[in-house]
Structure formats: C-alpha cells, structure tokens
Amino acid sequence: MATALQVISWGLEINDYGNVLLKDGSLVKAPGQGVTEELWTEIVVYGTDKKWQAGDYKSANLPFNNKLLS
C-alpha cells in the first residue's frame, strides 16, 4: 500500500483505521486534498500504463518527485 507520507501529500482517502481506501482495486483520492487533480490523473495514467496495482503506486515517488515537490 501507499506510505503514510503519500496518504497525506497525495490526498488519499483513508478509513477509521488509517488504511487507504480502495474502490474497484484503485486508490481513492479525496477531491481538493493533496496533489492537484491534474497531477493525480497523470500519476494514475502512468501507473495504468505500467499495469500497477494499488500497492505499486509508492514507486511513483521517483518519476514524479519534481512535480510532487513543486
């Protein structure tokens, strides 16, 4: 799954136990929270092209580092 930092900075929805929510096997982003919707879409498209599962998205930190920090 995603790391705690990703949950906060990306704006992912979590349940009462602090676990990332999934919908149909995909991470759920809270609208208006964390990264922009445009950047989130770009990350999801990248992950889809790589055939990532939800737990693989932690690998997006490196290719999107500059965009995540801006």
- Taking only the tens place, the pLDDT of each residue in 27-41 is 999 999 999 999 999
Contact residues for 40 (Cβ-Cβ < 8 A; gap 6+)? 10, 11, 29, 34
**Residue ranges per structural domain of the chain:** 4-69
Widest CA span of the chain, in angstroms?
31
Q: Which pTM was predicted? A: 0.83
Q: What is the pLDDT of residue 8?
A: 72
CA distance 8 to 48: 22
Residue 1 in this model has a pLDDT that exceeds 80? no
